[in-house]
Amino acid sequence: QSVLTQPPSASGTPGQRVTISCSGSTSNIGGNTVNWYQQLPGTAPKLLIHSSNQRPSGVPDRFSGSKSGTSASLAISGLQPDDETDYYCATWDDSLFGWVFGGGTKLTVL
């Protein structure tokens, strides 16, 4: 059971916009920024969004993040077949004094 709650799956058609949610509590998302990671099969997680809504250089602006209260969201617009993979949210937990992750969302591009 992950500390952060994500839907196990999401789907969309090419060109569509999809959002993935991440729900936490006051000790984690409520008091800290959120990171989103994309994990392609057989590879390490890659940082997609940091500081809740900032894209590292090289990440397309089709990816965006937001945070409100104890929840966060990742939005992917102009969906492409290559976007079909797993996505994880992560943040620091002040009570645990450590990192907490969502269970991951498998995105399918129909």
Partner 1 sequence: EVQLVQSGAEVKKPGESLQISCKGFGYTFTTHWIGWVRQMPGKGLEWMGIIYPDDSDIKYSPSFQGQVTISADKSLGTVYLQWSSLKASDTAMYYCARHVSNSYGRTLDPWGQGTLVTVSP
Under the binding rule (CB under 8 A), the answer on residue 38 touching partner 1 is no
In this chain, which of 32, 38, 64, 73 binds partner 1, going by CB under 8 A?
Answer: 32
Q: For residues 62 and 83, what is the distance between their CA atoms, to the nearest angstrom?
A: 11
Q: For residues 83 and 105, what is the distance between their CA atoms, to the nearest angstrom?
A: 12
Radius of gyration of the chain (CA): 13
Q: For residues 93 and 88, what is the distance between their CA atoms, to the nearest angstrom?
A: 16
Under the binding rule (CB under 8 A), the answer on residue 44 touching partner 1 is yes
Segment 69-98, which members bind partner 1 (CB under 8 A)? 88, 90-92, 96-98
Q: For residues 75 and 36, what is the distance between their CA atoms, to the nearest angstrom?
A: 11
In this chain, which of 45, 59, 66, 84 binds partner 1, going by CB under 8 A?
Answer: 45
Under the binding rule (CB under 8 A), the answer on residue 66 touching partner 1 is no
The candidate with the shortest Cα–Cα distance to 91, out of 50, 38, 59, 63, is 50
In this chain, which of 51, 60, 108, 110 binds partner 1, going by CB under 8 A?
Answer: 51
User: Which CB, 36 or 83, lies closer to partner 1?
Assistant: 36
Residues that bind partner 1 (CB under 8 A): 2, 32-33, 35, 37, 43-47, 50-52, 54, 56, 88, 90-92, 96-104
